Chain A
Amino acid sequence: MSDALPILEVRDLKMHFDIGGGLLDRLKISGSGVRIDKPVVHAVNGISFSIRRGEIMALVGESGCGKSTVAKTIARIHQPTQGEIRIDGEDIASYGFAKMLPVRARMQMIFQDPYASLNPRQRVRDIVAEPLLQQTRTAEERKAVPARIEALLAKVGLSVEHGGRYPHQFSGGQRQRIGIARALSVMPGLIIADEPVSALDVSIQAQILNLMMDLRDEFGLAYLFISHDLSVVHHIADTIGVMYLGFLVETAPRDVLFSHPRHPYTRALLSAAPSIKERRDVDEITLNGEVPSALTLPSGCCFRTRCPFAWERCAQERPRLADVGGGQKVACHLVEEPDRDRP
């Protein structure tokens, strides 16, 4: 594995869900005859990005914008509608269960609700051991598992005695530690973390974020870190991708994104985020209205229905994610027509 090769590269990923019922439910009789209606949720609409070894990339955006679907599609919980998912260069987009097994030693996932993702009838040590046991082949390897689990529990701040208990005996923060130990068990290079601190109180959130940073430093882990909280994302991420309606509208290194956000949606998000600091005088951009339905995407730019700058071109032509220098990429026609950047 060369260092130059990204640990994860996603190219033109699409994930659409058919949500029609049976065929009969979908038959619609209209003036022009019978037609078959096929409602499709356009959850992810062609996004591309890559993550290097040891890098933390965050995806932000409001609920329903497709963050979890991206995570689950990369983890191959979903079969992508289109696109490539390369782990260390190997495209896993079409892999079935058997071919995914060795990939799972390189990529693991942790979830927002540690409780829902842990089997309530399993002891913690068995939960943590599960991904590891899937990867062991020989009796020799299996014999080494208990000692390994003990070490893992210690690594995430739990004790050996905790291993014998059940998930319901733990607080939210401790359950997230269990989820992290489990993901860590196979020593993956990449961990996909879907809102791992969103359900936690702020003091516990700080503990878990510190743990995740320590583990990254110690093991050179890469994270795809999903969150809707900009202050958390600013703290943890090296690179940030902003999603809207299943599109990636902007990506940039952390400091660039926070100091020079270019996409109107990114700017609106940053000005809407509450802060304990004394209020800046004016909001740069405030948004009206709400996100349109993923069933019928707007023509042109996904953001145009709420964008204070939108003009005719925005309804006609879909902006592409274009490099604007400094590692920043933006999908907005304002990049080519900066004179229009006046609300």
Chain B
Amino acid sequence: MTVQTQHALLAVRDLRTYFHTFSGTVKAVNGVSFDIGEGEIMGLVGESGGGKSVVGFSILGLIDSPGQIMGGQILLNGEDLVTAGEDRLRQIRGREISMVFQDPMTSLNPLHTVGQQMDEVLRLHSDLDAAARRKACVEMLESVGISRAADRLGAYPHQFSGGMRQRVVIAIAMLAKPRLIIADEPTTALDVTIQSQILKLMRQQIAARGASMILITHDLAVVSEMADHITVLYCGNVVERGRTRDLIETPAHPYTRGLIDSIPDPANRHPRLKQIPGTVPDIRNLPKGCNFRDRCPRAQALCAVEEPQLRPQNASQWAACHYPLQPGDLA
């Protein structure tokens, strides 16, 4: 189904996560597959409502009623997390997979000091004694660029600025030496100079520890600077997947092309931006055939009848489109 890497740390297979609401079933994630190798950064992109966060929550085992994983597998080193029990998932969260969210306060407890929250992770996920834990916490805070780290252990989250709080969250996420970090819009709330500091920090931390990352964001520019490969979601489906430079330079799916063309390009300014017409359809009421066809400049009769499957386009790219773009096609 998807690009096979040498050694997949995480393999997601045909994941389906639905929400059963009064107004109908929301098929938020509807048959998503991808692989992430050791040490790789995968960007998960698409417009809001595409299902990016639900993929992240599904991997973490954090889908609650009215949501439900209806099918598929989430294989972490071969172990299926969809069928794992809550105890096992709790063990995995924090130790093997940790997370960073847009709002640092999602992960931080406002009533506990940073030191208490860091110590808690190590007590749960290591057998270090108190002195060794404290030392590890100080070193970790220093490594994410927080000065006077030993003093700051006693500070509460509100005593840090937004950018510093996100550094604390990254420090906590790294403490248990996880294999995989899921970062959901980690810099979306930050200013651009702080964003570039945090992105650089995440890249360093990932590289230094050989961890892998799923970087979820609506910002194609951010993933194109960070990710080794990119998965594009639209209405709960993967529409395209490929190595970062290939996907950005020669996108095969018209939706990917549209997203890229919508971004104003300072190096190549046109009086009018290319725009994707219309809006994302209601996910409870998707059109038959291709979900994108009402907005697609390449759509033909077949697109209204048959749902396109993800197919290889070349050595590194996969796209779900009946009429994919070839290198050189403009739209």
Chain A residues in the interface with B (C-beta under 8 A): 62-63, 171, 173-174, 201-207, 209-210, 213, 228, 230-232, 234-236, 258, 268-269, 271-279, 283, 286-288, 290
State in angstroms the CA–CA spacing of A274 and B224 once bound together.
8
Whether the Cβ atoms of B193 and A203 lie closer than 8 Å is no
A203 x B259 contact (CB < 8 A)? yes
Name the residue of chain B whose CB is nearest to the CB of A201.
Answer: B47
In the assembled complex, which residues on chain B have CB atoms less than 8 Å from the CB atom of A63?
A: 191
Contact of A201 (CB < 8 Å), options: B48, B164, B245, B265: B48
- A231 vs B220: C-alpha distance in the bound complex, in angstroms? 13
Q: Residue of B at shortest CB range from A171?
A: B279
Contact with A along B190-209 (1 / 0, CB 8 A): 01111111011000000000
A204-B279, A213-B272 as given contacts; A230 in contact with B192, CB under 8 Å: yes
A203 to B232, CA, bound (A): 14
Q: How large is the interface on B (under 10, 10 to 19, 20 to 34, 35 or more residues)?
A: 35 or more
User: Is B142 interfacial (CB 8 A cutoff)?
Assistant: no
Closest chain B residue to A306, Cβ basis: B193
- A231 adjacent to B271 (CB under 8 Å): no
Bound together, the chains give a CA A258 to CA B194 distance in angstroms of 20
Assess whether A235 is in contact with B264, with CB atoms less than 8 Å apart.
yes
Given known contacts A173-B279, A272-B195, A290-B163, is B264 in contact with A209 (CB within 8 Å)? yes
Partner of B264, one of A62, A232, A268: A232
- With a cutoff of 8 Å between Cβ atoms, the chain A residues found around residue B263 in the complex are 202, 231, 276
B259-278: CB near A (< 8 Å → 1, else 0) gives: 11111111101011111110
Residues of A within 8 A of B80 (CB): none
> Which 3 residue pairs spanning A and B have beta carbons closest together?
A235-B264, A62-B191, A203-B276
Write 29 A-B pairs (CB below 8 A) sorted by A numbering. Answer: A62-B194, A174-B279, A201-B218, A202-B47, A202-B220, A203-B262, A203-B275, A205-B262, A206-B275, A213-B272, A228-B191, A231-B264, A234-B266, A235-B264, A271-B196, A274-B192, A274-B195, A274-B196, A274-B221, A275-B266, A276-B221, A283-B196, A286-B193, A286-B197, A286-B200, A287-B193, A287-B197, A290-B164, A290-B194
A210 to B262, CA, bound (A): 10
Could you say which residues of chain B place their CB within 8 Å of the CB of A205?
262
Chain B residues contacting A231 (CB-CB under 8 Å) are 221, 263-266
**Is the CB–CB distance between A210 and B196 below 8 Å?**
no
Q: Is B76 in contact with chain A by the CB < 8 A criterion?
A: no
- Asked if A272 contacts B266 (CB within 8 A), the reply is no
Contact B196 A286 (CB under 8 A): yes
Residue in contact with A235 in the complex, picked from B164, B248, B269, CB distance below 8 Å: B269
A201 vs B48: C-alpha distance in the bound complex, in angstroms? 7
Contacts of B222 in A (CB 8 A): 274
Residues of B within 8 A of A (CB): 47-48, 161, 163-164, 191-197, 199-200, 218-222, 224-225, 245, 248, 258-267, 269, 271-277, 279-280
Contact A272–B192 (Cβ < 8 Å)? yes
Interface SS, A side: helix
Q: How far is the CB of A144 from the nearest CB of chain B, in Å?
A: 32
A268 to B280, CA, bound (A): 36
Q: Which of A204, A209, A276 has the most CB of B within 10 A?
A: A276
The reply to whether A207 and B219 contact each other, CB–CB distance below 8 Å, is no
* Interfacial chain B residues near A274, Cβ < 8 Å: 192, 195-196, 199, 219, 221-222, 224-225
* Distance of A304 from chain B, by nearest CB (Å): 15
Tell me the complex Cα distance, A231–B267, Å: 10
> Which of B47, B161, B193, B271 has the most chain A CB within a 10 Å cutoff?
B193
Give A290 Cβ to nearest chain B Cβ, in Å: 5
A173 to B261, CA, bound (A): 18
Contacts of B47 in A (CB 8 A): 201-203
Q: In the assembly, what is the distance between CA of A231 and CA of B261, in Å?
A: 12
How near does chain B come to A162, taking the closest CB pair, in angstroms? 14
Contact between B273 and A228 (Cβ–Cβ < 8 Å)?
no
Tell me which residues across on chain A come within 8 A of B260, comparing CB atoms: 276
B168 → chain A, closest Cβ, in Å? Answer: 14
Residue contact A228 to B192, C-beta cutoff 8 Å: yes
A210-B273 in contact (CB<8A): yes
Residue of A nearest to B220 (CB): A276
B148: shortest Cβ distance to chain A, in Å? Answer: 14
Q: Are B262 and A202 in contact (CB under 8 A)?
A: yes
B-side contacts of A277, CB under 8 Å: 265, 267
Q: Roughly how many angstroms separate A274 CA and B225 CA in the complex, as a whole number? A: 7
Which residues of A sit under 8 angstroms from B265, Cβ to Cβ? 231, 276-277
- Cβ–Cβ contact A279 & B225, under 8 A: yes
In the assembled complex, which residues on chain A have CB atoms less than 8 Å from the CB atom of B191?
Answer: 62-63, 228
Residue of B nearest to A173 (CB): B279
**Chain B, Cβ-Cβ closest to A271:** B196
Interface centre among B192, B258, B272, B277 (most CB of A within 10 A): B192
Q: How far is the CA of A271 from the CA of B194 in the complex (A)?
A: 12
Query: Shortest distance in angstroms between B194's beta carbon and chain A's nearest beta carbon?
Result: 7
Chain B residues near A209 (CB-CB < 8 A): 264, 273
Q: Contacting A230 at CB < 8 Å: which of B194, B225, B266?
A: B266
Complex Cα distance, B295 from A207, in Å, reads: 13
Q: Select the residue from B48, B161, B191, B245 with max chain A CB neighbours within 10 A.
A: B191
Complex Cα spacing A236 to B270, Å:
10
CB–CB A235/B193 < 8 A: no
Complex Cα distance, B219 from A290, in Å, reads 23
> What are the residues of chain A within 8 A of B163 when measuring CB–CB?
290
